């Protein structure tokens, strides 16, 4: 059987813990699940999810209110979750993403009207073969029974290689990076992505969604960098 189909089967009927390989019916066995470092809303900035603010807005978000109304993460971006996300994106192990998305769906979040996965630029999507945000969003849409909107939010600029840029240059670079074709009047939207670092791309997308009429935009990510 090809790797692709065996991965799919493994996802549908997981029988081994992703981390330790012991037999279990979920993606992680209870001891391994307990080692994953959870993000805590009560200790983080409500707008950008950066940790260690005791639940208050961080200095950055006080200075300039971001387009994102709220941000939530399932985990802190540290190992083993960081390695799993890296393997998913850069070693084509995309089947690691849905089980992590399911954990994100278990957070006590207010149900939005629409879920949107942060899109990749078309060139990047061709190169990778899948959009990690979409693979995270699918199980959330299924579990919460929310419409997962695809194709209306697009990425016009290939801005992914901006790790070397300063924070300021990143935000500049994100201008006009996204386009939304549609009407979101009055809608509450949750934007899904894998990792939130500066939040520059999520905020640029949130700006575009608000310009399209969205009443509220939240970011739901697998992991937040500390």
187/196 with CB nearer Zn ion: 196
114/219 with CB nearer Zn ion: 219
CB of 19 to Zn ion, least distance (A): 5
CB of 33 to Zn ion, least distance (A): 8
> CA nearest 155: which of 178, 133, 135?
178
Compute the chain's Rg from CA coordinates: 17
56/111 with CB nearer Zn ion: 56
19/146 with CB nearer Zn ion: 19
Compute the distance between CA of residue 106 and CA of residue 92 in angstroms, rounded to an integer: 25
Contact 68, 190 (CB under 8 A): no
CB of 148 to Zn ion, least distance (A): 27
- In the block, tokens 């990047």 appear at 124
CB of 61 to Zn ion, least distance (A): 3
Cα distances (angstroms) measured from residue 81 to each of 118, 205, 223: 20, 25, 8
Q: For binding to Zn ion (CB under 5 A), which residues are involved?
A: 17, 19-20, 29, 32, 45, 47-48, 58, 61
């Amino acid at each position: 059987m090809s790797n692709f189909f065996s991965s799919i089967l493994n996802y549908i009927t997981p029988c081994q813990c992703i981390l330790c390989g012991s037999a279990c019916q979920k993606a992680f066995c209870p001891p391994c699940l307990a080692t994953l470092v959870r993000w805590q809303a009560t200790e983080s900035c409500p707008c950008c999810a950066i940790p260690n603010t005791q639940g208050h807005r961080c200095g950055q978000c006080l200075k300039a209110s971001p387009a994102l109304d709220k941000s939530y993460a399932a985990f802190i971006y540290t190992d083993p979750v960081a390695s799993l996300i890296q393997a998913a994106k850069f070693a084509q192990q995309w089947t690691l993403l849905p089980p992590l998305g399911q954990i994100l769906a278990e957070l006590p979040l207010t149900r939005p009207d629409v879920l949107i996965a942060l899109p990749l630029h078309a060139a990047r999507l061709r190169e990778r073969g899948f959009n990690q945000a979409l693979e995270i969003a699918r199980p959330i849409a299924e579990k919460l029974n929310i419409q997962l909107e695809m194709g209306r939010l697009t990425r016009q600029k290939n801005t992914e290689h901006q790790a070397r840029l300063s924070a300021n240059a990143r935000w500049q670079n994100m201008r006009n990076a996204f386009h939304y074709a549609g009407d979101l009047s009055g809608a509450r939207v949750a934007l899904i992505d894998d990792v939130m670092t500066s939040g520059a791309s999520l905020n640029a997308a949130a700006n575009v969604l608000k310009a399209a009429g969205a009443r509220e935009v939240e970011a739901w990510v697998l992991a937040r960098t500390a």
